[in-house]
């Protein structure tokens, strides 16, 4: 198609004018506004994260910190406190009053607990084996303070303050000079059998079982029947209308448990519990050994306490292989460290009368003058201890005393005390603080 020459000439002329105008603007320095170019963003491509190799460990995620109470190491006091049947120290206002009274001086209380701790630990292990609460182990504390109380005639005796008839029901001997209520092993076995019988009788209601130990099971059953109650329905001692002594007995029992569970509340401090080697257990020896060798092996105040806790063995010159006593697990090692045990043998008591009789029997002359002089000779105390026994002129009767106990304490005979005190005989019941002439 041919272009019209006039149109082509016109287009060329217009193009020339436009080019001339553009050149003029550039020369004059005028700036030309650059056009705005909008660039579209690149498309988003989703890329999967790289897969970790199977051998690599998973990432460690730190959990949030959880606040927990510190776990205390369980010891004897924790164990025996958690095993209590009566944990309410506010069960009665009298309980806290008893607890404060029992603690008294802080230092003396700690020393007091150290004295009976081996025996409390022993009783608790025995009671625990029979599935009994800790209050059963506190009974000797309330009854006798873990001291061997000498009973006479119809009075209670020993740690557990067993009556003679009750002791005989459990096969114990209560003869004078061989009262097994003073044997810690035999008496503990009998007392726990009694508590086990009480627990079965009252359907494991230990409140009633403890009441029965104090006043007898028949009286507790009679009180239940009178009020139409059964075991498990008694919440307070006042429901049975028992004597005030029984109520105080229970409150003291609970008070000991409160002290052991929270000593700081009552201003007390408890010694640490015993290790397995220190714990007392029933012990027998193959060979005959002096009783005082046992005390020497234990040493210190513990040895002296052992003699007072085993009075039936203390008076023996040697222990037989059948004798059972309480001693720690490391006793054999302690005994071997003593070496020769004969030096601890108790010297037999020889009175001037016995020595004179031996002399008279061997002498060719047996006249009355010698016999009369022997009778007039004052009695010499036996060499049972390194120091001579100081016999006072007058003696004030203490709680738990009997003529036999006083005679044994001062190495005398009962008939000698009776001869010096014409107003009494063997059947006389001694009164507290009663004055007796001893020389």
Q: How confident is the model over 260-309, as pLDDT tens digits?
A: 999 999 999 999 999 999 999 999 988 889 999 999 999 988 998 999 99
| 125 and 188 assigned to the same domain | yes
Range of the domain at 212: 76-266
Last-in-domain residue among 320, 344, 368: 344
Q: Is residue 151 located within the same domain as residue 86?
A: yes
Model pLDDT for residues 411-426, shown as the tens digit of each residue: 788 888 888 887 788 8
| Amino acid 62: pLDDT | 38
Same domain, 321 and 392: no
Catalytic site residue 143? yes
Assess if residue 38 is contained within a domain. Answer: no
What average pLDDT does the segment 116-132 reach? 97
Domain check: are 165 and 307 in the same one? no
164 in a structural domain: yes
**What is the spatial distance between Cα 47 and Cα 408, in angstroms, rounded to a whole number?**
103
Helix (H) or strand (E) holding 395: strand 394-396
Domain boundary among 378, 400, 421: 378
Please indicate whether residue 48 or residue 107 has the higher confidence score (pLDDT). Answer: 107
Residue 344: pLDDT band with limits 50, 70, 90: confident
Distance of alpha carbon 169 from alpha carbon 160, whole angstroms: 15
Close Cβ partners of 352 (under 8 Å, ≥ 6 residues apart): 374, 377, 378, 379, 380
Its pTM stands at 0.65
Residues whose CB is less than 8 angstroms from the CB of residue 84 and which lie 6 or more positions away in sequence, other chains included: 133, 134, 135, 257, 261
Between CA 400 and CA 155 the distance in angstroms is: 9
Which one of 143, 269, 393, 416 is the catalytic residue? Answer: 143
Q: Which phi and psi (to 5°) does residue 283 adopt?
A: -125, 145
Decide if 410 is inside a domain: yes
pLDDT mean over 124-135: 97
Does residue 14 belong to any structural domain of this protein? no
CATH code (residue 398): 3.10.350.10
State whether 320 and 354 are in the same domain: no
How many C-beta atoms lie closer than 10 Å to residue 154's C-beta?
A: 9
DSSP 71: P
Is the predicted pLDDT of residue 97 greater than 80, yes or no? yes
The mean pLDDT of the chain is: 79
Stated as kind and residue range, the H or E segment containing 396 is: strand 394-396
Q: Answer yes or no: do 334 and 229 share one domain.
A: no
Q: Show the DSSP H helices in 217-364 as ranges.
A: 217-227, 244-261, 291-298, 300-309, 311-314, 331-336, 352-362
Indicate whether 301 belongs to any domain: yes
In a domain, 37, yes or no: no
Residue at 1 is within a domain: no
Query: Are residues 220 and 211 in contact, defined by beta-carbon separation less than 8 angstroms?
Result: yes
State residue 437's pLDDT score: 85
Are the C-beta atoms of residues 121 and 279 closer than 8 Å to each other?
yes
If one counts the domains in the chain, the total is 4
Residues 100 and 171 in one domain: yes
Task: Kindly state whether residue 26 falls inside one of the protein's structural domains.
Answer: no
Least confident of 19-33, 105-119, 142-156: 19-33
pLDDT of residue 349: 45
What's the angle, vertex CA 37, arms to CA 35 and CA 39, rounded to 5?
175
296 in the same domain as 218: no
- SS3 call for 147: coil
Nearest to 318 by CA among 351, 341, 350, 349: 341
Statement to judge: residues 340 and 352 lie in one domain: no
- Does one domain contain both 133 and 169? yes
Q: Kindly tell me if the per-residue pLDDT of 67 is higher than 50.
A: no
Question: What is the arithmetic mean of pLDDT over 370-394?
Answer: 45
What is the mean pLDDT of the segment spanning 114-124?
Answer: 96
Residues 111, 238: one domain? yes
Are 115 and 207 found together in one domain?
yes
């Amino acid at each position: 198609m041919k272009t019209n020459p006039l149109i082509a000439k016109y287009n060329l002329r217009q193009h020339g004018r436009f080019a001339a105008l553009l050149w003029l603007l550039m020369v004059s320095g005028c700036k030309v506004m650059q056009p705005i170019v909008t660039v579209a963003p690149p498309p988003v491509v989703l890329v999967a994260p790289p897969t970790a190799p199977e051998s690599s460990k998973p990432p460690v995620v730190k959990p949030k910190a959880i606040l927990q109470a510190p776990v205390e190491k369980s010891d004897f006091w924790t164990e025996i406190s958690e095993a209590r049947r009566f944990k309410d120290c506010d069960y009665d206002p009298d309980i806290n009053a008893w607890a404060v009274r029992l603690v008294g001086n802080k230092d003396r209380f700690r020393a007091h607990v150290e004295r009976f701790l081996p025996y409390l630990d022993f009783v608790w292990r025995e009671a625990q084996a029979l599935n009994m609460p800790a209050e059963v182990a506190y009974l000797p504390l309330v009854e006798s303070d873990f001291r061997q109380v000498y009973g006479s005639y119809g009075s209670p005796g020993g740690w557990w303050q067993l009556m003679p008839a009750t002791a005989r029901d459990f096969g114990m001997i209560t003869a004078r000079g061989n009262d097994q209520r003073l044997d810690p092993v035999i008496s503990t076995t009998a007392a726990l059998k009694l508590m086990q019988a009480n627990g079965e009788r009252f359907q494991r209601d230990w409140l009633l079982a403890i009441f029965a130990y104090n006043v007898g099971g028949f009286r507790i059953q009679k009180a239940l029947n009178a009020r139409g109650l059964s075991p498990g329905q008694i919440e307070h001692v006042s429901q049975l209308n028992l004597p005030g002594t029984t109520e105080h007995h229970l409150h003291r029992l609970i008070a000991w448990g409160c002290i052991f569970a929270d000593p700081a509340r009552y201003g007390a401090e408890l010694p640490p519990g015993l290790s397995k080697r220190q714990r007392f257990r029933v012990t027998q020896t193959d060979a005959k050994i002096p009783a005082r060798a046992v005390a020497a092996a234990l040493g210190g105040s513990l040895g002296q306490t052992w003699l007072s806790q085993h009075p039936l063995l203390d008076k023996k010159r040697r222990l037989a292989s059948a004798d059972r006593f309480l001693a720690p697990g490391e006793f054999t090692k302690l005994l071997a460290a003593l070496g020769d045990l004969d030096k601890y043998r108790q010297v037999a008591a020889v009175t001037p009368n016995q020595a004179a009789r031996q002399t008279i029997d061997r002498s060719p002359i047996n006249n009355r003058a010698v016999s009369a002089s022997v009778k007039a000779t004052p009695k010499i105390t036996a060499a049972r201890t390194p120091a001579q026994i100081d016999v006072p002129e007058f003696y004030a009767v203490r709680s738990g005393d009997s003529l036999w106990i006083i005679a044994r304490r001062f190495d005398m005979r009962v008939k000698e005390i009776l001869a010096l005190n014409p107003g009494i005989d063997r059947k006389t019941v001694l009164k507290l603080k009663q004055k007796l002439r001893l020389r």
